[in-house]
Amino acid sequence: MGRYSKQYSSIYPVIIVMLVIVMLVSMRYGAVDLSLDEMYSGMQHMFVPADQTPLAERIFMEIRLPRAILCAIVGAGLAVGGALMQALFRNPIVEPGLVGTSSGAAFGASLYFVIGAAFKYNGGEWTLPLAACAGGIISTALVFVLSQSKHDGKSSIVGLLLTGIAINALFLSGVGFLAYTARDSQARSITFWTLGTLSGANWHSVLIVGISTLLCIAVALRYTKHLNALMIGEEEAQYMGINIRKLKLRILLVNVVMVAISTSFTGVIGFVGLIVPHFLRMLKGSDNRFLIIGSALMGALVLSVADIAARMLLRPAELPLGVVTSIIGVPVFIILLRKKNYYF
Partner 1 sequence: MLSAKNITYSIGKKVLLDNVSVDFLPGKINMIIGPNGAGKSTLVKVLCNQIRPEKGVVTFGGKNLQDFSDQDLGQIRSVLSQNLELSFPLKVWEVVMMGRYPHYSIKPGSKDERACEEAMRFFDVYAMADRNYMTLSGGEKQRVHFARVLAQIWYAAENGCRYLIMDEPLTFLDIHYQFQFMHQLVKLLETNDILVVGVLHDLNLTAKFSDQITLINEGKILASGNRKDVLNKENIKTAYRLDPIIVEDTLKNSFYLFFE
- In the complex, the residues that contact partner 1 under the rule CB under 8 A are 1, 3-4, 90-92, 225-226, 228-229, 231-233, 235-236, 238-243, 281-282, 285-287, 341-343
Of 62, 222, 97, 68, nearest in space to 171 by CA: 97
Instruction: Say if residues 102 and 61 touch (Cβ distance below 8 Å).
Output: no
Please, which residues bridge with residue 148 across strands?
155
Q: Shortest approach of partner 1 to residue 239 CB, angstroms?
A: 4
Q: Which is nearer to partner 1, 220 or 260 (CB)?
A: 220
Q: Which is nearer to partner 1, 81 or 322 (CB)?
A: 81
**Cα(197)–Cα(204) distance, integer angstroms:** 16
> For helices 157-181 and 101-115, what crossing angle results, to 10°?
20
Q: Which is nearer to partner 1, 177 or 239 (CB)?
A: 239
Query: 341 — phi, psi (to 5°)?
Result: -85, 15
**Cα(101)–Cα(251) distance, integer angstroms:** 13
Q: Which is nearer to partner 1, 28 or 225 (CB)?
A: 225
Q: Which is nearer to partner 1, 2 or 49 (CB)?
A: 2
Query: 235 — phi, psi (to 5°)?
Result: -65, -40
Q: Which is nearer to partner 1, 25 or 332 (CB)?
A: 332
Q: Which is nearer to partner 1, 124 or 241 (CB)?
A: 241
Give Cα separations from 10 to 76, 96, 133, 284 (angstroms): 19, 28, 36, 10
Sign of CA dihedral 302, 290, 132, 162: positive
Query: Residue 54: is the preceding peptide bond cis (ω within 30°)?
Result: no
Q: Shortest approach of partner 1 to residue 80 CB, angstroms?
A: 17
Of 271, 260, 284, 157, nearest in space to 209 by CA: 260
Instruction: Say if residues 129 and 116 touch (Cβ distance below 8 Å).
Output: no
Where is 40: in which H helix or E strand?
helix 36-44
Q: Which is nearer to partner 1, 58 or 225 (CB)?
A: 225
Q: Shortest approach of partner 1 to residue 341 CB, angstroms?
A: 7
